[in-house]
Amino acid sequence: MEELQSGLNDWGLFVSTLPDKGRCLFTTRDFHPGEAILREKPYASAPNKSGVESRCDRCFGTSNLKKCSACQVVWYCGSSCQKEEWKLHRLECDALSKLDKERRKSVTPSIRLMLRLYIRMRLETQRVIPATTMENYKLVEALVSHMTEIDEKQLVLYAQMANLVNLILQMPNINIKEIAENFSKLACNAHTICDSELRPLGTGLFPVISIINHSCLPNSVLVFEGRSAVVRAVQHIPKNSEVLISYIETAGSTMTRQKALKEQYLFTCKCLRCIKVGQPEDIKEGAILEGYCCKNIGCDGFLLRDSDDKGFICQLCGLVRSKEEIKEVASEVKSVSDKALTSTSSQNYQETISTYKTIEKLQRKLCHRFSINLMQTREKLLKMFMELQDWCEALSYCRLTIPVYERVYPKFHPLLGLQYYTCGKLEWLLGDTENAVKSLTKAVDILQITHGTNTPFVKELLMKLDEARAEASYKLSSKEDE
């Protein structure tokens, strides 16, 4: 702990242990919005396994890939990435090469992550790779595993995975029970490595960042620059404050968030949002985000169950919707949604779009306009129209999602910034330069905070905004000359 503390001093941070929370990360100075609080390279990482495209094992890129000729599992984009990884991959390659073809197929990203964790530990022990204050196996050992809270079915799965890792590695003195425990640690401590647009690329273990606790109302955000994790302040964080990030998708009712945290991370959140559970304002928000709409045209009220449990009463106009009516529409939504799953797998976009438009129409009858489910359906339609390059339809659905994003996410949330960015790009493509400038400006205001000002992603966004402004200015001057 003392070694880690000396490394954290340079960042203006310290670790403290609280009775109800365990280890926490605190600040020794003020941090301002957009400032990097901490950067960390993964102790171990593995790219996602995709049937569509492979990724470089080092940088997670997809260009100029070549498969390792020996193990036939790992890909690299060039000699530079291959050399960087060679100390680790030399042992991994040797172990994977001994497996038959069928066994190699069972090497999932989770298994690879564990293999690399143990190979790194071994290389540290042999001093082939240096152990530093911020990068050493002791930090992995200090992570919480929650083994006592895991059900038997999951424990059996971890034991099977541990046996497979042991079979592949064949290292002396390897402890199968410890491997199983490390799988449990990965489940609640590993992070999904994403690109700048929050698309998942792989998984990494960042033992120092794993100390940071969760809040549904965080003061920081976790983003990635390549494989490196960066924690940035999204608001002013005073000296001696706890650094907090969100582990989950925070758009949802308190009950939904609590359920997600309990299932994945095995704890009950007591943040400022969650302690309001059951209070009138919390019940109202849950009913708006996940409940039903009033069928009185023009009424924007939310519905709550009546005392007799026979239906739902609009809290604005008092109109009652029967349970039977709601059940009927909900059943229809489920039936069409099941159909959508089969049409998605067939890659027939027109058929899938038609199905999702039907779902959206039904959800508009059932859900409040700020419904998360309705937003997610529109998000799917937006992505499909983007794939088809139908920019006009894509823009109309993008604009429909934005009011919901603005309601469910904090002011400086990367997803809100990215949605403004998408909207701005579509508006610009369709010649609506004036609105494109407005949307791109909103995107810049958020993404400069969440992603930093010097990243290639934000620099490209700033260039687009400058071009859009220049075009808007030219159009305005042309009109004045007429």
Tens of pLDDT, residue by residue over 410-444, are 999 999 999 999 999 999 999 999 999 999 999 99
Q: Tell me: pLDDT of 385 over 70.
A: yes
Same domain, 106 and 170: yes
DSSP for 361-429 reads HHHHHHB-TT-HHHHHHHHHHHHHHHHTT-HHHHHHHHHHHHHHHHHHS-TT-HHHHHHHHHHHHHHHH
Count of beta carbons in the 10 Å neighbourhood of residue 288? 23
Same domain, 471 and 342: no
Q: What percent of the chain has pLDDT over 70?
A: 98
Q: Tell me: pLDDT of 221 over 60.
A: yes
What is the DSSP code (8-state) at residue 329? H
CA atoms of 34 and 444, how far apart (whole Å): 12
**Residue-range definition of the domain harbouring residue 330:** 292-382
H or E segment at 45?
strand 44-47
H or E segment at 459?
helix 456-481
In this prediction, residue 310 carries a pLDDT of 83
> Cα angle at 21 between 260 and 274, to 5 degrees?
45
Coil vs helix vs strand at 275: helix
The alpha helices in 170-253, defined as continuous H runs, are 176-189
Same domain, 353 and 469: no
In this prediction, residue 450 carries a pLDDT of 99
CA atoms of 237 and 258, how far apart (whole Å): 25
Domain stop point among 345, 365, 382: 382
Of 282, 85, 285, 264, give the one whose Cα is nearest residue 189. Answer: 264
Q: Contacts by 472-477 with C-beta closer than 8 Å and gap 24+?
A: 472/433, 472/434, 472/436, 472/437, 475/433
Q: Tell me: pLDDT of 345 over 70.
A: no
**For the residues 68-97, what does the mean pLDDT come to?**
94
In this prediction, residue 347 carries a pLDDT of 62
CATH number, domain containing residue 433: 1.25.40.10
Token duo for residue 335: 């039936």
In this prediction, residue 480 carries a pLDDT of 63
Of 441, 481, 435, give the one whose Cα is nearest residue 461. Answer: 441
Q: What share of the chain is helix, strand, coil (3-state, %, to 5)?
A: 55, 15, 35
Coil vs helix vs strand at 215: coil
Residue 240 forms part of a structural domain:
no
Residue 400 forms part of a structural domain:
no
Q: Provide the strand spans (E) within 59-159.
A: 66-67, 75-76
Of 157, 171, 156, give the one whose Cα is nearest residue 122. Answer: 171
Same domain, 416 and 453: yes
Q: Look at the chain and report how many structural domains it folds into.
A: 3
Same domain, 371 and 424: no
Same domain, 315 and 431: no
Residue 227 forms part of a structural domain:
no
Residue 208 forms part of a structural domain:
no
CA atoms of 154 and 187, how far apart (whole Å): 11
**For the residues 241-261, what does the mean pLDDT come to?**
97
Q: Tell me: pLDDT of 401 over 60.
A: yes
Domain stop point among 191, 210, 237: 191
With beta carbons less than 8 A apart as the criterion, state whether 481 and 441 touch: no
Token duo for residue 401: 């999602």
Same domain, 54 and 166: yes
Q: Tell me: pLDDT of 124 over 90.
A: yes
- Torsion sign over Cα 169, 171, 177, 178: negative
**For the residues 97-117, what does the mean pLDDT come to?**
92
Residue 437 forms part of a structural domain:
yes
Same domain, 346 and 425: no
CA atoms of 201 and 300, how far apart (whole Å): 40
In this prediction, residue 439 carries a pLDDT of 99
Residues 6+ apart with CB under 8 A from 463: none
With beta carbons less than 8 A apart as the criterion, state whether 260 and 254 touch: no
CA atoms of 109 and 201, how far apart (whole Å): 11
Residue 314 forms part of a structural domain:
yes
**For the residues 151-179, what does the mean pLDDT come to?**
94
| pTM over cut 0.85 | yes
CA atoms of 433 and 473, how far apart (whole Å): 9
Same domain, 447 and 347: no
Residues 6+ apart with CB under 8 A from 157: none
Domain stop point among 382, 401, 422: 382
Count of beta carbons in the 10 Å neighbourhood of residue 153? 7
Q: Tell me: pLDDT of 51 over 70.
A: no
What is the DSSP code (8-state) at residue 355? H
Q: Tell me: pLDDT of 187 over 60.
A: yes
Same domain, 61 and 158: yes
Residue 28 forms part of a structural domain:
no
CA atoms of 181 and 155, how far apart (whole Å): 9
Same domain, 52 and 148: yes
Same domain, 164 and 56: yes
- Is 175 or 308 the better-scoring residue by pLDDT? 175
**For the residues 371-375, what does the mean pLDDT come to?**
98
Mean pLDDT of the residues in the chain: 94
Residue 393 forms part of a structural domain:
no
